[in-house]
Amino acid sequence: MPPILLPTPEIADALAAKRPVVALESTVISHGMPYPQNLETARALEAEVRAAGAVPATIAVMDGRIRVGLDDGALERLATAGPTARKLSRRDLPIAVATGAIGATTVAATMIGARLAGISVFATGGIGGVHRGAETSFDISADLDELARTSVCVVCAGAKSILDLPKTLEVLETRGVPVLGFGTDEFPAFYSRRSGLAVDHRCDNATQVADILRAKWQLGLDGGVLLANPIPVPDELDADAMEAAVAQSLADAESRKIKGKDITPHLLAALERLTGGRSLTANIALIRNNARVAAGVAAALAAG
């Protein structure tokens, strides 16, 4: 393992023995949720992965190294840092490592850390994608490019409708990223199970997912696979009410001229305010569900 990576002993052992390991991102802790729910969720995700028989590896940058697996002290450090931690995507990783800054990894940067460590499955809430209005702003998340090039399976609940979902799926198609639905034919829209947009293929269990991952990588087709796992039915939010909240949060961000990497965290916080916290409850439920499914996929991959 490159010296710039610092896995916990438990994770190093699990990887050496080819036991299932699931990577978890840290931007959702620092920038995606308020304290203390972020810390509680980070701990709950680790517990979900363990209960499902895999070892959790939350990834972040601290003291000049990519930490693979955070102990409770490190999780707390990140959760209390909140948005004062740097939000790290591919372009930011080398800067944070070289300067020793504390940094939270996005989907893109978590994929890079996972790949370097030899972890093939990663659970998150929602991926970044093509923003609405990207035809003029050019705002397309680096998460999509990372999915195209880095061989990790990313389990998410689809993408939020703060993004342009049809354009996001078009880019994934162009860049050769298979989009699988877990128990669904439709690409889920984060807070709601449906978007009206089709996935490439439906998988009904973890073994079917693992078969596709193995086939892709054995074909020499480097790059990721997106596994879209809908929010559990009881946690789903009303699609029309969410659409209204999204429209209002986008208008608010525009009037404040929020741009670049600040826009996604700003929209998430605005949604939470506008829904009186219901978006946060749904977010926690779906990400826990993703952690469970990811552990199953990691186990199926390890068993094959």
Helices marked H in 121-238: 134-137, 142-149, 165-174, 206-218
Judged by beta carbon, residue 22 or residue 300, the one nearer ligand PSU is 22
Q: Is 216 annotated as a binding residue?
A: no
Other Cβ atoms less than 10 A from the Cβ of 214: the count is 14
Q: Say if residues 199 and 184 touch (Cβ distance below 8 Å).
A: yes
Q: Which does 58 bind (CB under 5 to 8 A by kind): Mn ion, ligand PSU, none?
A: none
8 binds ligand PSU (CB under 6 A): no
Which residues ranging from 228 to 287 are in contact with ligand PSU (CB under 6 A)? 261, 264, 268
Give Cβ neighbours of residue 70 (< 8 Å, ≥ 6 apart): 8, 26, 42, 58, 60, 78
Candidates 13-21, 135-143, 207-215, 228-236: pick the segment binding Mn ion (CB under 5 A).
135-143
DSSP letter at 104? E
Question: How far is the C-alpha of 41 from the C-alpha of 30, rounded, in Å?
Answer: 11
Which does residue 188 bind out of Mn ion, ligand PSU, none, counting CB within 5 to 8 angstroms by kind? none
Active site residue 160: yes
- Distance from C-alpha of 90 to C-alpha of 283, rounded to nearest angstrom: 24
254 an active-site residue? Answer: no
Kindly tell me which of 28 and 237 has the beta carbon lying closer to ligand PSU: 28
139 among the known binding-site residues? Answer: yes
Strands (DSSP E) along 238-280, which ranges? none
Partner whose binding site includes residue 20, from Mn ion, ligand PSU, none (CB under 5 to 8 Å by kind): none
Which chain residues interact with ligand PSU by CB under 6 A? 25, 27-28, 32, 89, 106-107, 125-126, 128, 141-143, 160, 261, 264, 268
